[in-house]
Structure 1
Amino acid sequence: MDARDMMTRDVETVQSDEEVSDVLTKLSRRDFTGFPVVDDEGKLVGVVTQRDLVDIFQPSERTLWIPVGFPPFLEPVEYAVDISWNDLDVNLDLLRNASKPIREVMTEDVVTVDPEDSLDTVLELLGDPDLDINRVPVVTDGYVEGIITRQDVLRTLSEERADQ
């Protein structure tokens, strides 16, 4: 079993110059949580996820991290305190960021696989806690051929077990 056998072939992408507001609208109407981002030639240049878009409205500079380390703790425990004002901040963030191109908020360092990569390779990537990814584009020569989500892997494993 390789990536080609597991991938979803009909992949919806967004253009790198699409506005944040348009991508937010598209994402709100879909049952998935991210898009591959392509350039004018259709080559993969990034991925944008709900997490990337949420960061626009809750940027880390408005979160104050307070380390607290009292015995018997061996390591300090960090508490996050949101120092934003209220819903007004969210509305201001939306106004400030709505017309930005999605390339300004997307993740550029995209983890991908080749169509011939094995199930084990895909499992390693999607299960890696340091990567913390939910999907991996299947790419050939820079072009997206498909996408494999954690759901696709679970479906594949379930079908494989049912066939045994």
Structure 2
Amino acid sequence: MYARELMVTDVTTVSPDDDVSDVFRKFARYAFSGFPVVDEDDRVVGVVTESDLVDLFEPEEETLWIPIGLPPFVDTLTYQVKPPWADLDLGVDLVRNADRPISEVMTAEPATVSPDAGIDEILALLSGDDPDINRAPVVDEGGGLVGLIARQDVIRAFRDERA
């Protein structure tokens, strides 16, 4: 099996200049958890995922420094703080980030494969050490998008092969 046999070719994409709010609408419209980001020449310049957008709503500083001991507090204790979603002001964060270009949020230079990539290369990528890689854009020699392979595409191919 090769990438060209596994990939889907009807790929929904976003532009690096699309606003965060535009991409939120695409996630609401389509049943995808990530989109390739392509420039005006249809070259892959990044990938944006739901997780990238969720990160906009988490506080940047999650470490609380607690002074301990007597003044002058020569030591501190660090404590990780994860506020519950109910405590985050999503409306304010959405307004603050709505006009940001997706190029500021996306993962630049994503892992890609060529149409001739074999199943072993694809499996190594999708099951490797980086748990954030759930899909791989398939690109031609010039970096142009020709398709997309998601983990589920590989699983379906193995299922169909066994059937």
Give the letter aligned to residue 155 of structure 2.
Answer: L
Please give the residue correspondences for 1:5-84 in structure 2 after superposition, counting only pairs within 5 Å: 5-61=5-61, 63-64=62-63, 80-82=80-82
2:134 match: 134
2:27 alignment partner AA: L
Deviation at 1:81, TM superposition (A): 1.7
Contact 2:57-2:88 within 8 A present in 1 as well: no
**Conservation of the 8 A alpha-carbon contact between 1:64 and 1:83:** no
Equivalent residue for 2:148?
147
CA contact (8 A) 1:46 1:110 kept: yes
Cα distance in 2 for residues equivalent to 1:21 and 1:40 = 20
Query: Which residue is equivalent to 2:69?
Result: none
Q: Is the 8 A contact 2:44 2:144 kept in 1?
A: yes
> Is 1:159 equivalent to 2:160 in the alignment?
yes
Unaligned stretches of 5+ in structure 1? 67-77
Q: Give aligned-pair identity as a percent.
A: 51
Shift of 1:88: 5.7
Give the TM-score normalised by structure 1.
0.84
Aligned length, in residue pairs: 150
Q: Secondary structure at the match of 2:103?
A: helix
Partners in 2 of 1:151 and 1:16 — Cα distance?
26
Instruction: Quote how far apart the aligned CAs of 1:83 are.
Output: 5.0
* Distance in 1 (alpha carbons) for counterparts of 2:88 and 2:54: 15
- Mapping of residues 71-150 of structure 1, within 5 Å: 80-82=80-82, 89-130=89-130, 132-140=132-140, 141-150=142-151
Deviations along 1:49-84, one digit per CA (max 9) or x if unpaired, are 0010000011442x2379xxxxxxxxxxx9742258
Mark the runs of 5 or more structure 2 residues left unpaired by the alignment. Answer: 66-77
Whose Rg is larger? 2
C-alpha displacement at 1:26, in angstroms?
0.7
SS in structure 2 opposite 1:92? helix
What is the Cα-based RMSD across aligned positions, in Å? 2.2
Return the offset for 1:40. Answer: 1.7
